[in-house]
Each structure stands twice: as structure tokens, then as C-alpha cells.
Amino acid sequence: MQLNVTIETLQKGKCYVTRCPELDFVSQGRSFEEAKHNLLEVIQIQFDEMTALGTLEDYLEECGYAQDNGGQISQSEMVGFEKLAIQVG
């Protein structure tokens, strides 16, 4: 199954944290590439487990995916990203 996803990566000190907002999965690594690799591995492991349990289709529906010709299409798309400095308090 092929899904279109977004991978966000943040650097926190010496660690990189990756997140897939569409699927709500997070991972980390000591480098950008390791963090991305670890996230993709987490997604694969979770999808294998959900497939074995018969819950993958329900999970994808909860995440906003819809079936289309045997595949899954996200019903949401990131359309912007902005860094802001805001005053709090």
C-alpha cells in the first residue's frame, strides 16, 4: 500500500525528532537520516501489527484517509508552514 505522508523533523540539541502528522507517529535519531529511517520503521511495524489485528483500515479512516481504487488517499494536505515570534503573557 502506498500512502502520501508528511515527515516533519526538528533538531533538539544533539537529537533529531521526526513526526508524521497524518498518522500521528513520532521517532528520533542521532542524525536527520537516522530519525527519518526510524520513523519509517515505526510506521512499517505499526502497519504490520494493525494488519495482523485487522484494524489497519479503521486506523487509516480515523487518520483521515479514504479508499480510492484499492489505495488510500489522504483527505488533508499541508498547505503552509510558518515560523513566528509571538508575545506570550
Predicted pLDDT of residue 81: 80
The pLDDT tens digits of the residues spanning 32-60 come to 999 999 999 999 999 999 999 999 999 99
Q: What is the pTM of this model?
A: 0.82
What are the residues whose beta carbons fall under 8 Å from the beta carbon of 19, sequence distance 6 or more? 7, 8, 9, 10, 25, 26, 39
Domain boundaries, the chain: 8-74
Here the cell at position 26 is 513520532
